[in-house]
């Protein structure tokens, strides 16, 4: 029998702990496919966050560091500053990047750190059991917004990707998804481009992936993707927020 | 370290001598944030970095700074950060993570008076924080306590050496007076601290080797306990690097125990005491962790009592009492909130203690 499809060697054999339908596994795969295909396994260093993807280093078969909650981009800054020729990325969820780590996120981009920041936005805290995230949408019920997110009480969803796109240090800022085969292909192109720009030392590349959380949202995977398209995409529209300008 | 070649003596501020020593010790990256009374370190290093080929970056906070040295240290670089008491409090989470992930680094605390925002005057109020862990979980830092501008420079070399020997964060516990005062210093020469191999560093997966992961997360309690046991064994091994200085009478009635700036003050008290015919010795712990407990234990055989002097409400005195273990009385004299004890007020304590001891034995 002929083998026509297999996982890249840059993914380990470990069984992923992610829930059925979760986007993390797909994003991991896309990232590692690009690392494999670009032949940069030996020169890529990743930084894992605190959150559902805290064990990303168990699945990505490359050198990795586990950061404290919110500090992945500071850790990535430290790595990149002493190894400027290597490829460095951070991988964070919405709570990590846009709540506890907001300061680090904004200042990393503002310095134009020459790294790729991957930001998974699923509008909820998955790991701790479904609490409100900074990106939770208005009216969304979570375990800490049991009556729905109310802006009078707890403010509005934080569109941090729009915010960092305004900073001069950002070179390429885009918002992608992984709910269809087409979306996965587009994400892969964005990751490839980001690593290419990093080689060219252009500044920070920032990719938001609007994703789902079937367990946290208490939906089936299919329902979750429908809910995401209907409720999250209008607030977090897919596409480039800062188009790279190469001269 | 003592035999390393040195430059001619020059007059320097403690903070600047420390910063210059860090460059000469082969520091590859420094991340810091301004806070009085240590900002000269950040200023000196950002000035020198482009000229002398190392990284110096002003972070957006102490939180970011400690996590930047986590990343850079984890990538194998010789790394340092510096701050003063409130900023060191902010770094505690990162220090706990680095202790667990075993990332060597040098952390400078130029202490100021607290608690809270406190004062910018010198203090030793962070002894507990420095020597008992400081952040969450069971861990220890190697802690060096300089007492002069010369030692501010020398201990940077020793600090990096110990950090790399044990794969553990090391702290230099200084204070605002040592950081700000100017003294004669002969700086160690560049290149005298060897570069060591760090096979655990994340520099990119080797073509024919295992990938490296730096983490402090181990959800299985059996594994986490094993890691704790290994770390505790390492902390016990550090005992072989204990350092102290013992001055004064060989048959003391009272042993003064003081570190850092207070040890300098106590040297003067020692002179005054000898002029008055009192037999006094001064034990200066140079490493606060590992603590020179054994020498204190042996001093119990020859001394009548101990007087611990600190610029705090009584922190190191607890370790002195543990070492003395009830065999002799242990007295304490402290000033707080940025106040420095005078040699005369320590002398008064010594006189009161010797009278008390005579009454007790009479």
Residue B3 confidence (pLDDT) above 70: no
pLDDT of residue B1: 47
CB within 8 Å of chain A, chain B residues 140-179: none
Shortest distance between the Cα of B16 and any Cα of chain A, in A, equals 23
pLDDT of residue B362: 58
Residue B2 confidence (pLDDT) above 60: no
Nearest to A156 by CA among A145, A170, A143, A165: A145
For chain B, the average pLDDT equals 96
pLDDT tier at B81, thresholds 50, 70, 90: very high
For chain A, the average pLDDT equals 97
Same domain, B52 and B143: yes
Same domain, B53 and B127: yes
CB of B206 within 8 Å of a chain A CB? The answer is: yes
How many Å from the N-terminal Cα to the C-terminal Cα in chain B?
Answer: 48
pLDDT tier at B11, thresholds 50, 70, 90: very high
pLDDT of residue B48: 98
Does residue B4 lie in a domain region? Answer: no
Average pLDDT over residues B288-313: 98
Q: Do residues B205 and A41 touch, judged by C-beta distance below 8 A?
A: yes
Does residue B203 lie in a domain region? Answer: no
Report helix, strand or coil for A63: strand
Tens-digit pLDDT profile for residues A136-145: 999 999 999 9
Same domain, B146 and B229: yes
Unique residue bearing structure tokens 């992984």: A178
Same domain, B167 and B253: no
Residue B165 confidence (pLDDT) above 80: yes
Q: Where are the beta strands (DSSP E) in A178-227?
A: 204-210
How many Å from the N-terminal Cα to the C-terminal Cα in chain A?
Answer: 49
Same domain, B254 and B355: yes
**Number of domains present in the structure of chain B:** 2
Same domain, B115 and B140: yes
In chain A, the domains with their CATH numbers are: 24-242 (3.40.50.970)
The CATH number of whichever domain residue B265 belongs to comes to 3.40.50.920
Based on its alpha-carbon atoms, the radius of gyration of chain B, rounded to whole angstroms, reads: 21
Same domain, B136 and B285: no
- Contacts of B231 by beta carbon, 8 Å cutoff, 6+ apart: B99, B100, B102, B138, B139
Does residue B208 lie in a domain region? Answer: no
Does residue B201 lie in a domain region? Answer: no
Phi (first) and psi of residue B55, to 5 degrees: -95, 130
Neighbours of A159 (CB within 10 A): 18
Does residue B204 lie in a domain region? Answer: no
CB of B216 within 8 Å of a chain A CB? The answer is: yes
Shortest distance between the Cα of B108 and any Cα of chain A, in A, equals 18
pTM of the model: 0.97
Neighbours of B339 (CB within 10 A): 14
Question: In this complex, which of B72, B207, B211 lies closest to A82 when CB atoms are compared?
Answer: B72
Unique residue bearing structure tokens 């605390």: B109
Average pLDDT over residues B166-177: 98
Nearest CA in chain B to A100: B63
Tell me the percentage of chain B whose pLDDT exceeds 90.
94
Same domain, B187 and B336: no
Tens-digit pLDDT profile for residues A194-217: 999 999 999 999 999 999 999 999
Average pLDDT over residues B103-116: 97
Phi (first) and psi of residue A241, to 5 degrees: -100, -25
Shortest distance between the Cα of A158 and any Cα of chain B, in A, equals 21
For residue B74, how far is the Cα from the chain centroid?
22
Residue-wise burial string across A197-213, b where 16 or more C-beta atoms lie within 10 A, e elsewhere: bbeeebbbbbbbbbbbb
Q: Give the CA distances from residue A128 to residues A23, A53, A132, A208, A215, in Å, rounded to whole numbers and listed in that order.
A: 17, 12, 10, 21, 11
Please report the ipTM that was assigned to this predicted complex.
0.97
pLDDT tier at B361, thresholds 50, 70, 90: low
Does residue B267 lie in a domain region? Answer: yes
Q: Give the CA distances from residue A38 to residues A87, B144, B344, in Å, rounded to whole numbers and listed in that order.
A: 11, 47, 72
Domain end call among B205, B240, B275: B240
pLDDT tier at B357, thresholds 50, 70, 90: confident
Does residue B165 lie in a domain region? Answer: yes
Residue B61 confidence (pLDDT) above 90: yes
Same domain, B75 and B132: yes
B259 vs B265: CA distance, rounded Å? 10
Domain end call among B181, B209, B240: B240
DSSP string, B61-116: SHHHHHHHHHHHHHTT--EEEEE-HHHHHHHHHHHHHHHHHT--EEEEEEEB--ST
Same domain, B59 and B186: yes
Question: In this complex, which of B64, B68, B202 lies closest to A64 when CB atoms are compared?
Answer: B202
pLDDT tier at B180, thresholds 50, 70, 90: very high
Tens-digit pLDDT profile for residues B141-150: 999 999 999 9
Contact B60 A104 (CB under 8 A): yes
Same domain, B153 and B102: yes
Q: Do residues B104 and B142 touch, judged by C-beta distance below 8 A?
A: no
Residue A60 confidence (pLDDT) above 90: yes
Same domain, B188 and B253: no
Average pLDDT over residues A156-182: 98
Contact B75 A61 (CB under 8 A): no
The CATH number of whichever domain residue B162 belongs to comes to 3.40.50.970
Residue A170, CA atoms < 13 Å, CB-side half-sphere: 22
pLDDT of residue B136: 97
Does residue B275 lie in a domain region? Answer: yes
Nearest to B134 by CA among B162, B169, B180: B169
Tens-digit pLDDT profile for residues B304-326: 999 999 999 999 999 999 999 99
Report helix, strand or coil for B254: strand
pLDDT of residue B4: 65
pLDDT of residue B356: 79
Average pLDDT over residues B261-277: 97
Tell me the percentage of chain A whose pLDDT exceeds 90.
98
The parent domain of residue B173 ranges over 10-195+217-240
Chain A hits for B101, Cβ within 8 Å: 65-66
Average pLDDT over residues B225-235: 98
Average pLDDT over residues B67-74: 98
């Amino acid at each position: 029998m002929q083998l026509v499809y297999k996982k890249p060697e840059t993914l380990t054999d470990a069984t992923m702990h992610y829930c059925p339908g979760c986007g993390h596994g797909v994003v991991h795969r896309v990232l590692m496919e690009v690392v494999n295909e670009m032949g940069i396994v030996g020169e890529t260093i990743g930084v894992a966050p605190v959150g559902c993807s805290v064990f990303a280093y168990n699945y990505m078969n490359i050198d990795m560091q586990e950061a404290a909650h919110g500090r992945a981009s500071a850790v990535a800054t430290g790595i990149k500053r002493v190894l400027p020729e290597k490829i460095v990325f951070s991988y964070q969820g919405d709570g990590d990047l846009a709540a506890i780590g907001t300061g680090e996120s904004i200042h990393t981009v503002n310095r134009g750190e020459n790294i790729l920041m991957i930001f998974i936005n699923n509008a909820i805290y998955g790991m701790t059991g479904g609490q409100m995230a900074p990106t939770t949408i208005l009216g969304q019920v979570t375990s800490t917004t049991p009556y729905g997110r109310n802006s009078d009480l707890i403010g509005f969803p934080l569109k941090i990707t729009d915010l960092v796109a305004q900073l001069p240090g950002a070179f390429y800022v885009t918002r992608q998804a992984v709910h269809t085969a087409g979306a996965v292909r587009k994400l892969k192109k964005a990751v490839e481009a980001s690593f290419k720009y990093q080689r060219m030392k252009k500044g920070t590349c920032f990719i938001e992936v609007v994703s789902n959380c079937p367990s946290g949202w208490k939906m089936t995977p299919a329902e979750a993707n429908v809910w995401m398209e209907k409720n999250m995409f209008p607030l977090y529209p897919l596409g480039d927020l800062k188009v790279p300008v190469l001269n | 370290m003592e035999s390393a070649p040195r430059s001619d003596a020059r007059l320097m501020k403690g903070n600047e001598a420390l910063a210059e020593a860090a460059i000469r010790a082969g520091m590859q990256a420094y991340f810091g944030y301004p806070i009085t009374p240590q900002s000269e370190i950040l200023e000196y290093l950002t000035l020198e970095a482009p000229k002398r080929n190392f990284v110096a970056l002003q972070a957006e906070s102490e939180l970011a700074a400690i996590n930047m040295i986590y990343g850079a240290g984890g990538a194998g670089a010789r790394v340092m950060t510096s701050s003063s008491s409130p900023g060191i409090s902010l770094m505690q989470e990162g220090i706990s993570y680095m202790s667990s992930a075993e990332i060597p680094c040098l952390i400078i605390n130029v202490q100021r008076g607290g608690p809270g925002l406190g004062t910018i005057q010198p203090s030793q109020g962070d002894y507990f924080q420095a020597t008992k862990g400081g952040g969450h979980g069971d861990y220890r830092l190697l802690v060096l306590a300089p007492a002069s501008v010369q030692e501010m420079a020398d201990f940077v070399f020793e600090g990096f050496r110990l950090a790399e020997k044990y794969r553990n964060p090391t702290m230099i516990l200084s204070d605002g007076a040592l950081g700000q005062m100017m003294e004669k210093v002969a700086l160690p020469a560049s290149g005298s601290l060897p570069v060591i191999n760090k096979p655990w560093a994340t520099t990119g997966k080797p073509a024919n080797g295992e990938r490296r992961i730096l983490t402090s997360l181990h959800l299985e309690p059996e594994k986490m306990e094993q890691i704790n046991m290994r770390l505790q064994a390492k902390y016990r091994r550090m005992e072989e690097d204990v350092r102290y200085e013992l001055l004064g009478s060989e048959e003391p009635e009272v042993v003064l125990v003081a570190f850092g700036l207070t040890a300098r003050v106590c040297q003067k008290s020692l002179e005054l005491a000898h002029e008055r015919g009192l037999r006094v010795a001064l034990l200066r712990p140079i490493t606060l962790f590992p603590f020179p407990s054994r020498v204190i234990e042996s001093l119990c055989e020859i001394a009548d009592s101990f007087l611990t002097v600190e610029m705090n409400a009584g922190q190191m005195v607890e370790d002195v009492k543990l070492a003395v273990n009830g065999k002799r009385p242990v007295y304490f004299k402290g000033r707080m909130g940025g106040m420095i004890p005078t040699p005369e007020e320590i002398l008064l304590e010594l006189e009161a203690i010797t009278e008390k001891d005579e009454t007790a034995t009479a």
